Structure 1
Amino acid sequence: MATNRGRRNRAAVTAGVRYAIIFALLALWEYNTRIGVLNPFYTSYPSAILADLYEFTMSGELAHHASITIGEALSGLFFGTAFGVGFGVLFSQIKFLGSVITPILTAIAGIPQLTLSPLYILWFGFGFKSKVILAGMMVFFGVFGSTYNAIKNLDQRWIEASSLLGANAFQTLTLVVIPACAPWIISSIRSGIGSCMVGAIMGEYIGASGGFGWMISFAASYFDLDRVLACVLILLVFNRTLNWVLDRLEGRILHWRTESNLSLKTAAD
């Protein structure tokens, strides 16, 4: 009980310090712009960004563009994760298939997907599909690599122990292998949150009629920095929200995992 209370207190202190730093930086930004140290044409300032965000919201444009970008990003994250985990499990279980296909996927993963975005637009059009595919591909390779390598390098003694306890192949896979590899899979999904957003935004930059990428490009062409930074703020909040949701899911899925407090100082002592 005391341990849980101490953990909650540490979390509250950490959050308090974090928000205090953010508030101090924003206040410093606002103050330096007001006194003329910073040029608002190049940097804008927090109160102007919030005013533009309010106007953006009240006009209904925010909901319209958010539904496009968030839909593309979440769809890409879902499909990239599903196919990444699926193929990672499949190729780790069928050794011959894995040895044939994995080097090909590794080579393709070495190509920055953003350089292929014009091809995705050309092949799949300017609509929703091309953005989802680009976002999904940016998620897929990281999730696939983490899943495949985590299963491939799993301690063989875990497999042998489950067999001794009478588990069949499916039970071993679902009750031992995947849970043991879950920390690496979840870590790759966490990286994929940022990647899917980049894919959706860049796809909208190249060709779209809506979404935050399109709005940022449009606003930048008119030097409307307030609107550009308002969109960036929304993307930051969305990214943080997704990470918060993943943190909660991770806590439920990996409730058995103990958190190490090891530090370099502890190790040296």
Structure 2
Amino acid sequence: MKIIKTFYASQPSAIFIDFYNFIMSGEIFIHLGITLKEASLGLLFGTIAGISCGVLLGRIKWLADLFEPIISALYGIPKLALAPIFILWFGLGIESKVFLSAILVFYLVFFSTFEGIRSIDSNIVAAIKLMGANRFQIFMKVTLPSCIPWIITGVRGGIGASLLGAIVGEYMGASAGLGWMVQYATTTYQVDRVMSCILTLLLIGLLFNKGLKYCEARLLRWRPNNC
């Protein structure tokens, strides 16, 4: 007696055969390229905006008192539920997917960077000031190195968020991409193809995280546990 019906979840052999055919036909690269472009741009823009706002609000107290509650309140709004509005604003092209991905990434990177700035030991800052360091030197030698682990934590979460934003955006309206393929395969009961797309996203996530770990090791060479 089968515990799980193959109609709903397929079986490993069928999934790998479909995945192989998906690759050999070249179709996977068309959809993967579109989704990766959307997710990568969303990750890039969301990370830049998150770091910039996190550093700015973390260093200027009155700005933090003014905008941090607003950003926290907006964070509670389900961004995925706003996907149809983003498509209405930006259309069915790549812009709506990139915007949705960037919004999801922004909050993760912003809160990590903001907390990283606020967690810096004030005694270290005071000591380097006594040594004659100016604001730029303090930022480059103390603030930024101390925040890198926090920023990387936010970016690590942002990788999955960027892919999620791209996929959901393609669900809402697209003519290509892995999200569109999953939706199309689901409506036509091609469970093997759905699982192949999920497997592709899994591999992409692993590669992204592997690359991030490499960057983390390079950026944090000064730490004893990375020597």
Answer whether TM exceeds 0.5 for this pair. Answer: yes
Q: When the two structures are aligned, how many residues end up with a matched partner? A: 226
**4+ long deviations beyond 4 Å:** none
Tell me, in whole angstroms, the C-alpha distance in 1 between the residues paired with 2:80 and 2:151: 23
Structure 1, 157-166 or 211-220: larger mean CA deviation: 157-166
Pairwise CA distance, 1:37: 4.8
- Corresponding residue to 1:234 among 197, 200, 216: 200
Q: Counterpart of 1:252?
A: 218
Structure 1, 210-219 or 111-120: larger mean CA deviation: 111-120
Tell me, in whole angstroms, the C-alpha distance in 1 between the residues paired with 2:48 and 2:224: 27
Q: Map 1:167-206 to 2 at 5 A.
A: 167-206=133-172
Per the alignment, in what secondary structure is the counterpart of residue 96 of structure 1?
A: helix
Distance 1:126 1:157, change over 3 A: same
Pairwise CA distance, 1:133: 0.5
Tell me, in whole angstroms, the C-alpha distance in 1 between the residues paired with 2:13 and 2:132: 64
- Corresponding residue to 2:95 among 126, 129, 137: 129
Per the alignment, in what secondary structure is the counterpart of residue 124 of structure 2?
A: helix
Report the residue type matching 2:71 in the other structure.
L
Q: Counterpart of 2:33?
A: 67
Q: Map 1:8-19 to 2 at 5 A.
A: none
TM-score after normalising by structure 2: 0.95
Per the alignment, in what secondary structure is the counterpart of residue 77 of structure 2?
A: coil
Q: Map 1:42-121 to 2 at 5 A.
A: 42-121=8-87
Pairwise CA distance, 1:98: 2.1
Deviations 1:85-130 (A, max 9, x none): 0111112222222211111111101112101111111100111000
Gaps of 5+ in 1: 1-34, 260-269
1:161 aligns with 2:143: no
Structure 1, 239-248 or 173-182: larger mean CA deviation: 173-182
TM-score after normalising by structure 1: 0.81
Pairwise CA distance, 1:251: 0.9
Q: Counterpart of 2:7?
A: 41
Per the alignment, in what secondary structure is the counterpart of residue 120 of structure 2?
A: coil
Deviations 1:183-218 (A, max 9, x none): 111111101111111111001001111111100000
- Corresponding residue to 1:149 among 115, 125, 145: 115
Report the residue type matching 2:59 in the other structure.
Q
Identity %: 46
Flag the structure with more relative contact order, 1 or 2, with Cα contacts below 8 A and sequence separation at least 6: 2
Q: Which has the larger radius of gyration?
A: 1
Report the residue type matching 1:40 in the other structure.
T
Report the residue type matching 2:77 in the other structure.
I
Report the residue type matching 1:152 in the other structure.
R
Report the residue type matching 2:161 in the other structure.
S
Distance 1:38 1:141, change over 3 A: closer
Structure 1, 174-183 or 211-220: larger mean CA deviation: 174-183
1:215 aligns with 2:181: yes
Tell me, in whole angstroms, the C-alpha distance in 1 between the residues paired with 2:96 and 2:128: 43
